[in-house]
Structures are given as C-alpha cells and as structure tokens.
C-alpha cells in the first residue's frame, strides 16, 4: 500500500497510539478490581503499574529506536504491535501475580516499538514548521486512549469484567498488526534533503552519535531532562482512581466516567492547541518552543495545583481537573518538534528512544513507585496519605519548568549548528 499523503501516516500512527494508550492505561482504570483480585499492596501496585512495565518499555525503546534508524520501521511497529496485543490478552487470562507482572513486562517490550519509529517517520513527511502540530495530533493518542480506557471500564466493565475486555483488546491489536506489516514507509530524510545513506552503519554507531548529539547540545539535554521531570507527577496517575475512591468518596465507575470524558476533551485541546501554538508562537520566540512551554505553564500551574486541595463539592475541583487534562498533554508537540529539529535524520529514532527511556524510567516509573512507597511508609499516618503524597510529587513539575526555560536559552544556537551540518 503506497501513499504520499503525510496525513495518511499521521492518522494511522494516531490510531495505533490510541490503541497503545488504551492497552497501557486501562489497567489503571481497573485498579481497584485488579489490586483486590491479586491482593496487592500500594507498593506492589506501584511496581506492576509503573516500574515493571516501564523498565522494559523504556530500556527497549532506545535499542528499537536504533534498529528503526537502520531497518524497516513499519515492520518493527507491526511486530511490536502483535507482541503487546498478545500480552494484553495474556493479562486478562493471568491467574497469578507473577503472570500479571510478566505480561505487563512484555507489553512494555512490544509498545516500545511504536513512538521512536512513528515520530521518525512523521519527521520524514512533515517540514520543521509543521512538526509541532503533527506531534500534537500524534499524541492526541494519549487523551483519547486514556479517556477511552476509563470509559470502557465505566460502561463495559460491569457487564463484561476486566478479563474479557483485556482479551478483546488483544484480538483487535493482533488484527491491526497485519495491516501495518504491509504498510510502505516514507523515504527516510527526504523532506530535510537527506536520503537513506544518512543511516548509521550499526546500532553502536547510532548510540555513539546520540551520545554526541545530547552532550554537544545544551538545548537537547535540557529538553530531555525537562521531559523527565515533567513526567514524575504524571506517574502519580496510576493511583488516581484509587485516590478518588479511598480519599474523595467516588465509586470507580463515577470517577472513571468523569475522568475519561474530561481527559478526552481537555487532553485533545492540550495536544492540538499546544502543538499548533508551538508552531505559531514558539517559532517566533527567541527561546523557541521551549520558552513557549515555560510561559504557558506559568499560567496553568496555579490552577492545576488546586486539584489535590479542594473538595469534590467545589466547582474548583472540576475546573482544575479540566486544566490538568490539558496540562498533561500540552507539551508533546513542542517537545517532539524540538527534538526532531535538534537531531539529524540518521539518529532521530535513537534520540526519541533515549527520551522515552529517560521519561519513563526516571519519570513515570519513579513517580508511580514513589507514590506507592510514600503513601505506605512516609505519609501513612496522615488522614489522607495519597493526597499528601500527590501534592509532594507535583513539585517536580516546577523543576521541569526551569529546565524548559534553560533549553530555550540555547535553542537557536543549537538549531543553527544542526542545520549547518545538514547543509
């Protein structure tokens, strides 16, 4: 199947990313049921929902990203999709905590194939000035996937149960993998004036070139660091339904219905508007898209902080939840356009893989584990241990804002170096 339309690729990858985030996050929506079925503590839940999945997802991302800089990216995605779909079905059939942990680990391996290769191919069909919007639409998969996952739990969960839903999702993904396997990928580097000869000769070369790119570009280094810090509070999300039930008086179905709808609407606004404004405003600022993010978060952060403090009886609870749903996905377009712009075509997949590794291991996984650990061992004597933990974890977002600002200081200088190397 051949096409030259960049939007064809964009919406194919968007669909896969939606499926990716449904499979990844529906575990959180069924958190109360699964946690009870396997008799897991908060710390164990933090491990299975965070580190077990994310360690394999993140560590494999950089190597699969390097493979994608050398081999067929569509076939890599197809094989990964088949693997994670089979493991999603296996999760639904798991009868022991050990099998639950193993299936989550291999879901991570499979899903690591998607983003490095997808973002790399999108940079082959969209020019620099449109990559923020393209990245934003691709990451529309997060609010749609997460939101749909929570809505599936609220609507189909009571009817089918969590096990049948996991098995059904696995079947859908396995069928989709056949189509992706035969999809023709775009020409590598064509839109930047570079062709396939730009590929590194080996995975080791890709890793060496990636290390050189990150250490020689202050802007790229701080983009990766900012994304990592920004995702530590996002790791708290694996406890959101548990927090809402235990400390805010919701039922799982009530909260998941509300959260799913908010996240679809607010998250869609965040990804699309964030990506669009990143191209429109960020490209005009001296500090580029990173300074656009810094100023945007200055405005949104005070409203977001309210969510953990106010009661569900207050209108501010729902207003701040809406801004949280915008805030979580707002940065993707700006971050991925910046990473693509600051790297050469031959290592884009590897650099994206490095970003994924850092963000997921030292960001989301660490955030999920620390949330469970602090709730069980540090704030366990407080009346609302999860609330106190979540407020504490949110402070990492302030550090991320500083790093976004620092990344913008050197953005123009580092972008000029990359463009000179290409020419």
**Domain extents for the chain?**
6-189+199-418
CB atoms within 10 A of CB 184: 12
At residue 26, the pLDDT reads: 87
Instruction: Give me the DSSP letters along 121-141.
Output: HHHHHS-GGGHHHHHHHHTTH
Q: Could you confirm whether domain 6-189+199-418 is CATH 1.20.1250.20?
A: yes
Query: In angstroms, rounded to a whole number, what is the distance separating the alpha carbons of residues 288 and 135?
Result: 16
At residue 372, the pLDDT reads: 84
- Buried-exposed string 303-316: b where 16+ CB fall within 10 A, e elsewhere: bbbbbbebeeeeee
Count, in order, helices (H) and strands (E) of the chain.
Answer: 23, 0
At residue 201, the pLDDT reads: 56
CA angle 308–311–313, rounded 5-degree value: 145
Residues 235/366, Cβ–Cβ less than 8 Å: yes
Nearest to 31 by CA among 260, 235, 240: 240
Long-range contacts of 95-99 (CB under 8 A, 24+ apart): 96/38, 97/38, 97/39, 97/40, 97/44, 97/48
Q: What is the mean pLDDT of each run of 10 residues along the chain (423 residues)?
A: 73 93 86 84 77 82 80 91 94 89 90 87 81 81 85 87 92 94 81 53 76 90 93 84 88 83 86 86 87 90 85 90 86 84 80 84 84 88 89 89 94 83 55
At residue 369, the pLDDT reads: 83
pLDDT cut 90: percent of the chain above it = 22
At residue 49, the pLDDT reads: 74
- The H or E element that residue 103 is part of is helix 97-111
Query: In angstroms, rounded to a whole number, what is the distance separating the alpha carbons of residues 27 and 36?
Result: 13
């Amino acid at each position: 199947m051949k096409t030259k339309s960049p939007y064809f690729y964009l919406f194919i990858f968007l669909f896969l990313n939606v499926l990716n985030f449904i499979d990844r996050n529906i575990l959180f929506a069924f958190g109360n049921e699964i946690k009870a079925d396997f008799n897991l503590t908060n710390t164990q839940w933090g491990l299975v929902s965070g580190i077990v999945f994310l360690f394999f997802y993140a560590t494999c991302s950089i190597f699969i990203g390097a493979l994608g800089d050398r081999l067929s990216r569509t076939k890599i995605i197809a094989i990964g999709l088949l693997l994670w779909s089979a493991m999603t079905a296996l999760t639904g059939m798991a009868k022991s905590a050990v099998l639950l942990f193993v299936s989550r680990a291999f879901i991570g391996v499979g899903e690591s194939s998607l983003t490095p290769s997808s973002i790399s191919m999108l940079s082959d069909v969209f020019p620099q000035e449109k990559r923020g919007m393209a990245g934003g639409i691709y990451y529309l998969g997060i609010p749609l996937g997460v939101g749909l996952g929570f809505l599936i739990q609220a609507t189909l969960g009571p009817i089918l149960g969590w096990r049948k839903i996991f098995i059904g999702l696995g079947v859908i993904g396995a069928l989709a993998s056949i189509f992706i396997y035969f999809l023709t990928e775009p020409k590598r580097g064509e839109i930047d004036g570079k062709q396939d000869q730009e590929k590194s000769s080996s995975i080791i070369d890709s890793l060496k070139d990636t290390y050189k790119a990150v250490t020689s570009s202050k802007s790229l280094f701080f983009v990766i660091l900012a994304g990592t810090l920004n995702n530590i509070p996002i790791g708290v999300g694996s406890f959101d339904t548990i927090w809402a039930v235990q400390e805010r008086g919701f039922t799982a179905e009530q909260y998941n219905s509300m959260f799913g709808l908010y996240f679809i609407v607010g998250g869609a606004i965040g990804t699309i508007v964030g990506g669009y404004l990143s191209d429109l405003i960020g490209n005009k600022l001296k500090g580029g898209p990173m300074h656009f993010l810094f100023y945007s978060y200055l405005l949104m952060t005070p409203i977001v902080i309210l969510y953990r403090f106010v009661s569900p009886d207050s209108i501010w609870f729902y207003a701040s939840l809406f801004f949280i749903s915008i805030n979580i996905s707002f940065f993707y377009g700006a971050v991925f356009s910046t990473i693509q712009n600051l790297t050469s075509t031959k290592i884009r997949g590897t650099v994206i893989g490095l970003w994924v590794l850092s963000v997921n291991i030292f960001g989301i996984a660490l955030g999920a584990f620390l949330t469970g650990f602090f709730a069980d061992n540090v704030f366990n004597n407080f009346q609302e241990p999860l609330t106190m933990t979540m407020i504490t974890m949110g402070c990492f977002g302030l550090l991320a804002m500083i790093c976004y600002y620092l990344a913008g200081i050197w953005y123009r200088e580092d972008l000029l170096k990359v463009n000179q190397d290409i020419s």
